[in-house]
Chains A and B, each alone.
Chain A
Amino acid sequence: MKKLSIPLLLALIAVGTVLAAHFELLDLYIQTVIMFVGVNIILSSSFNIINGYMGEFACGHAGFMAVGAYVTSVLNLMLFTKSKAFGPPLLSPDLALYFFPVTLILGGIAAAITGLIVAVPSFKTRDDYLAIITLAANFIIVSLFINMDIVGGARGLMGMKQIIFAMEDIVFIPWMLIWVFTFTYLTVFIIRRFVTSTYGKGIIAIHQDEIAAEIMSVNTDKMKLVAFMLSSGLAGVAGGLFAHILGYINPNSFGILKSTECLVMVYMGGMGSLSGSIIAAILFTLLIEGLRFIIPAADTLIHYLPLIPDTFHLSQVLKWVIIPLILVILMQFRPEGIMGNRELSDFFPKLKRFYVFK
């Protein structure tokens, strides 16, 4: 029973949400926010492998997300829809439902392979230099997509909503919610198993003393390869989900701001804490969505109080200030984040009575 308590609880939440969505008890906006929470959990927990458990300072996570988003989207558009760029569908749209997880995983694999451009330099480089390399990788990937006309260039790629419609034609239920729940659960599950195995703890040893790790028989190059590819692969899966939640993507949504969001979530939750990453992803998503309402409200308020000239408006661009600012404040006042490198069960040992992780 203890073994099943967490999966059961999560299944209950997932089924409850899906049912509520199906019977139109949840409006579309709230559904979208829930799905963004899922995507952000995948992003922050996968990024935590590198910046938390392995203790590197990467900062281009969104680049890998972009690869996943584009590869999955292009595959689906090619296979199941009629589009200007890719012509008639190669397969019957009826199959979209069954192939969606496959294309998502293929996007993840493509992102994992792209992860090599960071993994290989990491054999010899650390710290600031590696940070610069990851940043460069992020820019390279984004400009690559901007300059690829077949995927819409800077205008972006559209039409992914049709894949959802194709899925819903088979069975009419909120499929995207189901996929997001499934892949979020799988991600956390895989990472949890990885970092608690003796195999995965090799990356924690690299964090704490890389030379000792190598000399005590840990193949550090291989571990770095595994960690970077796992991390970027999962980011790719997040990207694929993201693309289909929105229905369209644009290279600039995977730029440095998105990577900064990933950084904020990891450092907010705590490096090397999986429960921290999850909590931070939830809080952060709610905060960012909250800004959509807070910024216009604040705008009205300060114009009402005539504090600033009428021609000046607070806009959503303020996000660009607030997100990096959170990072600065975090680093100044609580660099260890909400959880430090501990898990929820370390704070509340009594929780352990109700579940075991396997």
Chain B
Amino acid sequence: MSLLKIEGLTQKFGGLTAVSDFSTHFQGNELMGLIGPNGAGKTTVFNIVSGFYTPTRGNIIFKDKPINGLKPHVVTGMGIARTFQNIRLWHDMSLLDNILISQHHNLGYTLLDSFLRNKRYVDNEHRMRTIAMDLLEQLDLIQFKDERPGNLPYGVQRKIEIARALSVKPDLLLLDEPAAGLNSADVQDLIKLIAWIHKEFNIAIWMIEHQMAVVMSLCSWIQVIDFGKTIAQGTPEEIQSNPAVIKAYLGDDNI
């Protein structure tokens, strides 16, 4: 069984090779980390996987189907959801609407049904609303359901982004620096939350993160990239003691 298989992924922006010959493999529901210094190409990998860029070279196979070149909404509909490094919620609508709209791939009714408000419309709206409410309940966000995300604290917004991604019912969840900008108490909560989601929803999670505490305590496998190239991969212990990783992060002492 293979959930996601990436082979020889390369992304060039003009003369810059942001990602070069990147490969990875998810069997089922692993929790893996992708780390590397600033500008290493981590977000670019996520952008390619979620369909935002068509890669210069390489293959992405998700659930046995090639997905490179597909539009982002199609990829999401197939079961890859993500969060963003800089929070990208819809700030001028309620939290509940945020969670509802991200179920667009599975509306179950047509434009005409929305005018007629027939049984199909009512049933499907009800179904989506139930999914949303359950999710908000589970993630302890229900008290904010009518609030606009823009008015909520940063830590809550990060959590809402995760809730929104989960409403897609993904098989693979991509988290781009979920701990960025959080204080240390919030970071501890986030670690618990991600571990809980991983267990409860039984899904694969792929995480970019700069805070080593988060990566080391959650991920079973970590891949390190620098200047678009994979420089190491292994278990948290192996990565922590890997000289190439230490060099990439701390710089070369010889210079």
Contact = CB atoms under 8 A, between A and B. Distances in A.
A197 B121 contact: yes
A309 B72 CA distance: 66
A198 B88 contact: no
B76 interface: yes
Contacts of A208: 90-93
Contacts of A198: 100-101, 103-104, 107, 125, 128
Contact of B90 (A204, A214, A220): A204
B20 interface: no
A20 interface: no
A22 interface: no
Contacts of B97: 201, 204
Contacts of A216: 73, 76, 81, 101-102, 104, 164-165, 168
A150 interface: no
A213 B97 CA distance: 12
Nearest to A195: B114
A217 B71 contact: no
The size class of the interface chain B forms with chain A is 35 or more
A217 B115 contact: no
Contacts of A217: 73, 76-77, 102-106, 168
A200 interface: yes
Contacts of B72: 214-215
A48 to B, nearest CB: 16
B73 A215 contact: yes
Interface in B144-165: 164-165
A202 interface: yes
B16 interface: no
Given A215-B82, A216-B102, A205 B90 contact: yes
Interface string B22-59: 00000000000000000000000000001110000000
A214 B107 CA distance: 15
A contacts with B: majority SS: helix
Interface string A199-224: 11110110011011111111110000
B104 A204 contact: no
Nearest to B110: A199
A32 interface: no
A194 interface: yes
A226 interface: yes
Nearest to A221: B71
Contacts of A220: 73
A198 B117 CA distance: 12
Contacts of B84: 212
A350 interface: no
Given A198-B100, A217-B103, 14 more contacts: A193-B114, A197-B121, A198-B103, A198-B128, A201-B93, A201-B97, A204-B101, A209-B90, A213-B90, A215-B50, A215-B72, A216-B76, A216-B164, A218-B104
Interface of B: 50-52, 71-73, 76-77, 81-82, 84, 88-93, 97, 100-107, 109, 111, 114-115, 117, 121, 125, 128, 164-165, 168
20 contacts: A190-B115, A194-B111, A197-B114, A198-B107, A198-B125, A199-B109, A199-B111, A200-B114, A201-B93, A204-B101, A205-B90, A208-B91, A212-B89, A216-B102, A217-B76, A217-B102, A217-B168, A218-B104, A341-B92, A358-B117
